[in-house]
Chain A
Amino acid sequence: MPNSLRLAALADSVAVVGVGDTDYAVDYQRARDKQVDKDAYGYAALAFKRALADAGVACSDIDGLIAGPTLAGERLGEVLGIDPRWSAQGDAVNAIMQAAIAIHSGFAECIALVYGNNQRSKGTQYGGPRADGGERYLAYVYYAPWGMTSQGALYALMTQRYMALHGLKSENLGEIAMAQRRFAKMNDNAIMRAPLTTAEYLAGRFICEPLRLFDYCLVNDGGVAMIMTTAERARRMAKTPVLVSGVGRSDINSGATSLQPRLIDFYHTGHRQTAAQVFDMAGVGPGDIDLVQIYDSFSVHVLFALEGFGYCPVGEAGQFIANGAIGPGGRLPINTSGGHLSEAYMQGWNHQVEIVRQLRREAGARQVEGARHAQYISDVAGKVASVIYKREGS
């Protein structure tokens, strides 16, 4: 069981004070035109400089460094000229948790979390004989003799079973891609900004049926950086601090390669354990959350997360998302930058940036009015994690 007393001491003690991202839409076109002028470290460096400027801190203030999973820590520090007294490596949500833990326990006071990825120009494969991630997740490569490969196919299996169990229809599933596209239309940095109708969604080709083109995330180049520090120091800085109010995590490994927790449970056991910790630590419930960002390499992540985190009963996510409920002006705005489907695929990093902008009320036309609490949820391969952020003073 999580230790509530110890977790309570961590709650609201650490803040995000700076965010930076790169020019996703411009760089997407550059990659298509074969005019790329950066590698993963180039995108990371640009995002980092923008995050420093956003926070109003100097590079010499950084005493901790976390490199995203596609970067080597030493090379990143060399490129940025940072010799930290504490460092780590992690995906988006684990980077944030590690930073919060390190700052809270005094290992470092001002940590840069830096991600860069040139997956489009480099031609990273997410399925087939050279599938990325196969060395960490056996299911990505184990079933090659039957042509079974890619994270997308695994989510297609889950979706097919969900449809058979709960009667979800394709046009209903399309609500997710369409809602996120409506947000992306209000985000100048989003890659996919053209309107998406139900007919266009349904006309999208199948990749792994029942998932279609618009259920799949983009693959693009870019970088993201965040600056985190103590809540006390954050309060002396120019912008409104965004506090890490709760964190939760639950790794589902048993039966992972045979796909039991995916197909039988939709990872709900991990969702429920994570939800219990994150909501308890933040002292809020689903009803207090103003907007949610969900790791969406595929649209259906949204359905499973909504059910597992208690936003609706199991089997009812299709009704929950109907009629624009998760889009602009809806009852629960989800992936308000356009997410991985329409803004950019930055492996969960861009979702954190969007939360910070929303809670600072800097999100322009897509601003969720009066946003005070925002939740991030990811469940990549059953490694479920969630962070609840709070606008300082809420």
Chain B
Amino acid sequence: MTALARPRPIMGVYEKPFWEAVQQRELRLQRCRNCDHVWYPPGPVCPSCLSDDWRWDRMSGRGRVIAWTVFHRQYFRELPVPYLVVSVALEEGPLLIANILGVEPAAMRLDMAVHVEFEPARSADGDWLIYQWAPD
């Protein structure tokens, strides 16, 4: 698969382990050891109990479509339109955004079952992996 040019993600202290896992083809989110809450985006403490005792837990990667939009206006030089952006609720709870592989806009349905896949991406500073949705 050819790597597509993409803007780099924001890479703060808490994003770094998240994206390092993605490079290993794993979707990991923080899970609280105190109350079992799972959250996204990554952050310093559990938003449910403020505990900083959490671990990077591997997600199932499975979820259901919550919403989608087709971009017709081009906002990023690297990304030609049209393209689909899809919000998915993971089985573990949090909602994550990505594109969807191999689905036409007309075929999109609410609650459609999807799973995570990893796609090559390219930026000025090198190649990397991004996560995407794919239909089950």
- The interface bits of chain A over 135-153 (1 if a CB of B lies within 8 angstroms of the residue's CB, else 0) are 0001001111111111001
B41 touches A145 (CB 8 A): no
Nearest CB to that of A139 among chain B residues? Answer: B97
- The interface bits of chain B over 32-56 (1 if a CB of A lies within 8 angstroms of the residue's CB, else 0) are 0000000111000001000000000
A209 touches B70 (CB 8 A): yes
| A203 lies within 8 A of chain B by Cβ | no
| B16 lies within 8 A of chain A by Cβ | no
- The interface bits of chain B over 57-88 (1 if a CB of A lies within 8 angstroms of the residue's CB, else 0) are 00000000011111111011001001101010
- Could you say which of A23-31, A258-266, A316-324, A357-365 contacts chain B? A258-266
Residues of B within 8 A of A144 (CB): 7-10, 76
| A127 lies within 8 A of chain B by Cβ | yes
Bound Cα distance A164, B68 (Å): 10
| A interface majority secondary structure | mixed
Instruction: Say how far B94's CB is from chain A's closest CB, in angstroms.
Output: 5
A206 touches B7 (CB 8 A): no
A161 touches B85 (CB 8 A): no
| A276 lies within 8 A of chain B by Cβ | no
B94 touches A153 (CB 8 A): no
Bound Cα distance A259, B96 (Å): 8
| B110 lies within 8 A of chain A by Cβ | yes
B87 touches A259 (CB 8 A): yes
Instruction: Say how far A252's CB is from chain B's closest CB, in angstroms.
Output: 13
Instruction: Say how far A39's CB is from chain B's closest CB, in angstroms.
Output: 26
Residues of B within 8 A of A138 (CB): 41
Residue from B72, B97, B99 within 8 A of A206 (CB atoms): B72
A146 touches B85 (CB 8 A): yes
Residue from B73, B96, B97, B105 within 8 A of A207 (CB atoms): B73
B66 touches A147 (CB 8 A): no
Nearest CB to that of B83 among chain A residues? Answer: A147
Instruction: Say how far B123's CB is from chain A's closest CB, in angstroms.
Output: 9
Bound Cα distance A143, B72 (Å): 17
B8 touches A145 (CB 8 A): yes
Residue from B40, B66, B76 within 8 A of A149 (CB atoms): B76
Interface size on A, residues (CB 8 A): 37
| A158 lies within 8 A of chain B by Cβ | yes
| B98 lies within 8 A of chain A by Cβ | yes
Nearest CB to that of A156 among chain B residues? Answer: B69
Bound Cα distance A41, B56 (Å): 49
* Given A157-B69, A160-B69: A142 and B10 interface contact (C-beta under 8 Å): yes
Residues of A within 8 A of B110 (CB): 161, 164-165
Residues of A within 8 A of B75 (CB): 127-129, 147, 149-150
Residue from B9, B40, B73, B105 within 8 A of A258 (CB atoms): B40
A259 touches B95 (CB 8 A): yes
Instruction: Say how far A62's CB is from chain B's closest CB, in angstroms.
Output: 41
Residues of A within 8 A of B98 (CB): 146
Residue from A145, A161, A263 within 8 A of B7 (CB atoms): A145
A143 touches B85 (CB 8 A): yes
Pairs across A and B, CB under 8 Å, 17 listed: A129-B7, A141-B10, A144-B8, A145-B8, A145-B9, A146-B98, A147-B85, A148-B85, A157-B69, A158-B67, A160-B67, A161-B66, A164-B109, A211-B69, A258-B40, A259-B87, A263-B67
**Interface set of B (CB-CB < 8 Å, partner A):** 6-10, 39-41, 47, 66-73, 75-76, 79, 82-83, 85, 87, 94-99, 105, 109-110, 121, 130, 132
**Interface set of A (CB-CB < 8 Å, partner B):** 127-129, 138, 141-150, 153, 156-158, 160-161, 164-165, 205-211, 254-255, 257-260, 263-264
